[in-house]
Every structure is written in C-alpha cells, then in structure tokens.
Amino acid sequence: MTVRLAKVGMMAFAFGNTSFSSDINTNGQIVNETMAAGFLPEDEGAILLEGVNGQHGALSFDSDGNITISGSMNRGYYFRVCWSHVHIDLLIAFRNPVGRLGRGRAT
C-alpha cells in the first residue's frame, strides 16, 4: 500500500493509490500497521478507499494509531485513498499562540 501523509498549515492529508494481494471482505479486521503519531486525530478517523471497480472500503483508526480495515475490495484493482482533517494540536497552537488558553490572539 502506498499512502502519502502530508501536513499543510493546520490540515493533515492522506492520499495515494493501493491494490490488494488478496480479496478483502471484512468489517473491522485489525491490521499490523499504525497511523503515524503526528497525524492522529483527537478521537478517531477513517481513510476512505474508492476502487476503480466501484467498490469501497475504509481504514479506520483510533487516537492510539491502531488501524482496522472494513469493506469489500477485490484484488487486482486499484483503490484511490483520500483523507483530510484539521490537526487538533495545530488548531490549539493557532488559537492560542502563547500557549495559554484564553490569553493568546490568533493573527
């Protein structure tokens, strides 16, 4: 799987294409990969997968970075990966640039 992670300002993104070596038909199977700590949301999130064959799936992750996969996705097809969110640590820093709640001003 090739998924690129990027940050631009307060936004975090995942994008890329992937294919599978075997058919996937599951609802919440735990996988061995984890989401990088610097990209985790405060609570949980999901990266959507859209296949060129019309199938859909998702990689869901929690605030600890644990990932589960859900959906029906056949091997031999490419799936587009798309995800974005406002990174909570960056949002807090932007709202409170001096690091004290209610004391800083965003410019």
Between CA 103 and CA 48 the distance in angstroms is: 38
- Alpha-carbon radius of gyration of the chain: 16
How much of the chain is helix, strand and coil, in % rounded to 5? 10, 55, 35
- pLDDT, one tens digit per residue, over 13-68 is 888 898 888 898 988 888 888 887 777 777 778 888 999 999 999 988 888 888 89
If you average pLDDT over residues 83-88, what whole number do you get?
74
Following DSSP, what letter does each residue of 14-25 receive, concatenated?
A: EEEEE--SS-EE
Q: Is residue 83 pLDDT above 80, yes or no? A: yes
Find out whether 86 and 10 touch, Cβ atoms under 8 Å: yes
Residue among 98, 46, 47, 51 nearest 72 (CA) = 51
Q: Is residue 96 pLDDT above 80, yes or no? A: no
The 3-state DSSP class for residue 28 equals strand
Task: Supply the pTM of this predicted model.
Answer: 0.68
